[in-house]
Amino acid sequence: MQKQLVDRGVASDSSYPAQRVCLAKTSDSSRNIRYKLFDNAIFNTQIRGVTSMYRTNSDATWGQTNLLGFETGLANYSVSPDTFASGAIADSVTSKGGIIFGGNDQTSLLAFINSGAAGSYGTVAEPYADTNRFPSPQVYFYQSRGFSLAESYYQSIYTPF
């Protein structure tokens, strides 16, 4: 699995990706905190000439394919296999998304990785609903400018502690 993860990241290197990015406003009002930032990220990528980022009001990704990114705010859901393109970044605002070993009553970031994403983000302790502690939708703007996955995350998380 680790080799596949690295291969997906390498396949997207220097590619200036243009696949679709889905920013999902969900029904979970406790975790649905980033939707107010969606329009700025969409605007910034459109200035670059990238028009593949869109927002939706949905609790599901099932059946979508070739996504370069996905941001949601749900604690529990499933992601269909092969949802993501090489280099994709995807995450959810949850308290325990980063717990990959042991019990977890929320969807783990591994759900994104297992569905083809090259990177994801999750916390292991309660960060509270704070947009500064989770990746901003601007992560996709940085990615569209050619920054690596790690560089894009670094620039989009304002309080990573």
| pLDDT, tens digit, 9 for 90 and up, residues 30-78 | 899 999 999 999 999 999 888 899 999 998 877 889 999 999 989 888 8
Q: Are 63 and 80 in contact (CB under 8 A)?
A: yes
| 89-143 per-position pLDDT tens digit | 999 998 899 998 888 899 899 999 999 999 999 998 888 888 899 999 999 999 8
pLDDT: which is higher, 18 or 123: 123
Residue 18 has pLDDT above 90, yes or no: no
pLDDT: which is higher, 4 or 158: 158
Give DSSP secondary structure letters for 23-88: EEE-S-TTT--SGGGHHHHHHHHHHTT---EEEEE-S--TT--SEEEEEE--SS----TT-EEEEE
